[in-house]
Structures are given as C-alpha cells and as structure tokens.
Structure 1
Amino acid sequence: MKQRTWFITGINSGFGRHMTEQLLERGDKVAGTVRNMNSVEDLKEKYGALLRVFHLDVTDTNVIYEVVDQTFNELGKIDVIVSNAGYGLIGAAEELTIEQITHQINTNLLGSIHLIRASLPHLRAQGEGHIIQLSSSAGQTAFSGGSLYHATKWGIEGFCEAVRQEIAPFNISLTIVEPSGARTNFTHHSVVLGQKLEAYSISQAHNARRGFEDTSIVPIGDPARMVKIMIDTADQKPAPIRIALGSGAYNTIHQSLSNRLEELEAQKELAFSTDFPANK
C-alpha cells in the first residue's frame, strides 16, 4: 500500500476524526487542523510523528492560506486535501440571525472555497493531487428548516463541479462526498438551532428542529465504512466526481433528481419556444 500524506480540516470530531484515525493506523501521514489544540492530544501521543496538528478556524481566510503554505513548506508533497470542517445551522430562514447566517456561509462555503484555492498552486507545482470535499445529501436535495445549510452545500458543490474541470489538465482530481446521517457527533454536537418563532409551528421547518432536538434518534450510517470509501477515492483512476454514502443519501438524492428531471422534461417545449427561429 502506498504511503500518502493527507491534509484534513477539522480532525477533532466526526468524519475528520474517523478518517485521521484510519489513515494513521495504516501508516499514512496526516496534517490536521483543529480550533482547539488540546482536542487531539490522544492522537498525538499514540501516533507521534505521523500526525502534525495546526491551529485553524476556517472562517479566518488569511490564516487558511498561511497554514496551507506552511504545511506544504514543512512537509513537502501532500497527496490529498480533505475539506471537512463544517457544521449545520437549522431553522426557518426567518428564525436565523444575521450573525448565524454569516458564520454558516463563512465556515461551510467560503472556508472550503479558500482551502481549495490555497492548495491549488502547490498541487499544480507538484504535478498531481486529489481533493475530497465533504458535502452532504443536503447538497442535492432540500428540506424545510435547512435553508442556510443547503445554501452552503449546494454552493460548494457548484464551485467544486466547475473547479474539477479547471484543474483536470494539471493531473489534479476532485471528489464530492454526499453522506446522509451517520453515527458521529455531528447531529447533536455540530448543529446550531435558530431562535424558535411560534409562527412557524405550522411549518415543516419545526419538524426538522424536532429531529435534531430528539437525542433518541440514532442515524443508521456507519462512519467508519463511509470514511474507508472516501479514503479509497485516492486510489481510483479516474476519481469519482460524486459519492453518495448511506441509504438515506441514495434515496433522497434519487427522489430529488427524479422530480427535477420530470419537471424539466415537462418544460421542454416552453424552454425551446424562447429561442430565435433557426433562420434568424
């Protein structure tokens, strides 16, 4: 098995933690970022020099570029960039504060955009590389109460879809990962709820809120299995563009795409009717 060096944001919890543990256990090197340097002391003690930890809050744009530059300068070649850091913001759009909206976009969308941009000059210079962007089934479908979370996930998927085409000539690949619920600490520890407005008690938005407030709900997704599939994309040529992980992801994305295609096909004649005639 080829030993690789990985750069992963948000390694203290969730998929980032699972991925880091699997990679270190098999002997790969990981440069990981955290907001709290004490949150991965156990990993540093267990794996020693295989793990390098950098302090980073992905809402701090300038520091993203500094940390990425520093990591490449110190470690040399980095084979895989994993844009993982993020969280969920749940509530009807009207229930969210300006500060919550700004922070969600700065973290999930702009943080990921700048991480990828910061990495590209280095990946081009080394002549190869692979980028893994953690999205969600929420990047292909939408539910009431998740408007801002969806905005960031749909946004980063559009960005990555275009960038993937831009960087293909440089032997750099990019994979978007779309998991559904998994048994990480995301659901009940990485989700922020907006201020509840009683006016929305008749809206489905509050159904989404109840789903996150109810700690008895246990997702069926196995994060260890999901992460292994993410890791395996580094060995696939060509790398997959998207990977849906979990039966929930497959079912909701399939339904969403089917509905959208059906609606589009029903509008074909209308769409074509707005073109100039062929002889004009």
Structure 2
Amino acid sequence: MIKGQRFRRLPLHALLLAMGVIWVYPFVWMILSSLKTNTEMINGGIRLLPEVLQWENYARAWKLANFSDYFTNTVIIAVSSVIIVVAMCALTGYAMGRVNFPGRNLLIGAITASMFIPKGYTLIPMYIIIKQLGLLNTLPGVILAESSGAHVLFILLFMTYFQKLPNELEEAAEMDGCGYLRTFLQVMLPLSKPMLATTAIMQFIWAWNAFLIPLVFTLSKPNLRTLAVGMFSFVGEHSIDWVGMCAGAALSLIPVMIVFISLQRYFIEGVSGSIKG
C-alpha cells in the first residue's frame, strides 16, 4: 500500500522538482554569468559553465563601480529602517491588540485600508516633508522615507499575536509593580520573537532592495546611492557591463541570505503563528 502511494506521487514529485529547477535557474545563471566575460556571456547560448573563471568581475564591481560605498550606505539604511519599523509596529500592534479604546475598530479599518494605497502616490508629500526637515540628499532622510508608511502587514501581525497572549501575563506584571511600558518591554515583547524576526527579515529585504526612494532622495548626492541604485554604474553611454552587473547583484544578495538563514526559524514560526491565529 505504501509503495503504491509512493508510485502515485512520483508524477507530482517530478512536477515539483521541475518547477524548483525553473525557479532556481535565474539565480544559478546570474552567479555563473558573473564569472564570464561579456563576450562569452552574450555568445554562450544556453551553456552555463564559464570557460575560465573571471573572479576579477567581483573586484571590479566592488572597487571601480564604487560598490564598497554603496554597500555601506545600504547597510546603514536597511538596519536603521528595521529598528524604526520594528519598534513602531510592535508598539502600535500592542496598543491595538491589548487596549480597548474608543474608535479602535475604526482605526484598524483605516490602517487596513491604507494597504491599498500605492507607495508611489505618497512619494510627493513624503519628498516635501523630508525637504522641509532639511534632510534631502542625506542618509537620515532616506532612512525616514524608507521607514515611513503604515506598514499594515506588520502591525496586523503584532496585533493578532498580542491578542492571543493570556491576560494573566499583564496582571502578574501589574502586581509586580510594572507600568504599561515596562510590561510591554520586559514581558510581552520578549514573547513576540517570531513576529520580531518576521518583521525584521521582511523590512530588511524591502529596504535592501529599495530603488525608487533612494534614487529620488539622493539625486544630487550620487555618493549616497544604495546597491540597487548603484547598478546604474554598469550602464555606459554605448555599452553595458553585464557580467559586472551580475557580480554586483551577487554581492548584494549575500547579506540578505545571511539575515534570512540566521532568522529563518523565527520567520517560519511567525508566519505559521499568524496563519493559525
């Protein structure tokens, strides 16, 4: 019976394997193309493996294309925005999930509705605010712009998670003399590690790959560009350095992969917990 079930599942497994290969192929192609010459990449057809490994493509992307500075800028922007967004969404989600205040349902509906507003529509007012604050063409300005917005998904994740926690935790903390903020920081927040990791991973990836906001808010300061915007360095007036672009893209993926692998256990717990809730 078990062998029969395995045999019937073979077509499904073969289909899933084929879909997995198709899904991974662009990534493998990019990595192997970063080790070729431009001529070999263009004329190589479907052949993936390079004739000679061109490791100098990575050195050229890191130094000549100024990726070292772009990398530093991207790390500062991504990490700072993660800290701001996690703190903001955790506090908002806790207040909405644990406090019954007048107009709570109306506020939840308004925040949820803002999810359907395209981010491009808020770019102009955001630009005006950052300019009036005197932060245009600065890293703090880009950080604030990347951290702005309702971040509805993260707020709802924290709200549903905090709603499921028992009231006895807050009552015990209150008996120990903890105030509202201390209860949140020392009791409730440590229990929300899966949500913290989920929010941190997703915001880090979004901020790391952001293109429009870093481009618009650093037009006059090219040295403040991020890795995504810095890809323009490989586009010349009459030619494009395709292999250098692939090498730069490969370098930009390393921190994202490290963050995801380090926090994947909490990320899976957070996603599964939100689905169960």
TM-score under structure 2 length normalisation: 0.23
> Which structure has the bigger radius of gyration?
2
User: When you count helix as a share of all residues, which structure comes out higher?
Assistant: 2
- Which has the higher relative contact order, 1 or 2, with Cα contacts under 8 A spaced 6 or more apart? 2
User: When you count strand as a share of all residues, which structure comes out higher?
Assistant: 1
TM-score under structure 1 length normalisation: 0.22
